[in-house]
Amino acid sequence: MNVYVDRVGSPAGELAFAVDEEGALAALHFVESDGGPDMEEALEYEGFQVLRDEEKTARPREELREYYAGERREFGLPLAFVGSEWQKAVWLELTRIPYGETRSYGEIADRLGSPGAARAVGRANATNRLPLVVPCHRVIAADGSLGGFNGGLHLKERLLEHERRVLGTVPDGTA
């Protein structure tokens, strides 16, 4: 199967992303993340043919650019979820968290009808291949701390700060 890769800037640094033949977002990776394999290498390891085609990647590139510019608060991209039914349910619930807001892992578990499954929600977040678009950065610990983030907590904080700045709930630092 073919995937088409591209890169775009974001509030958390450069993003690498891939779309499938139908244009669904298949992977998104923070280039500045705290580890893990390179997205293209990981996709090749999984058996994908990695190609470049700016026409195929135009829509996600534009939606991600709009998010970065503060012009987009919801993504309209088709998403290629690959995971268990539980993971897919968690990821879908994450897409319902409004821009600039947060929910705890426990709140997500409760919304899915699985009280007490906060750790399972956290594990699903950790395997989210579409961070930012499936906004796992908006999920925090019950005590208000950031919890974890696949790309590193510094990136999670940057994304949350970006959304608060766009909403006008934090100063932008300019005079």
Catalytic residues: 136
Q: What are phi and psi of 50, to 5 degrees?
A: -90, 120
18 bridge partner residues:
5, 27
Count Cβ atoms below 10 Å from residue 30 Cβ, excluding itself. Answer: 24
Q: Which amino acid is at 157?
A: E
What is the residue-wise DSSP string for 58-77? HHHHHHHHHHHTT--SS---
Q: Which of 1, 31, 39 is nearest to 13 (CA)?
A: 31
Q: How far is CA 173 from the centre of its chain?
A: 25
- Residue 173, classified by CB atoms within 10 Å of its CB into exposed (0-12), middle (13-18) or buried (19+), is exposed
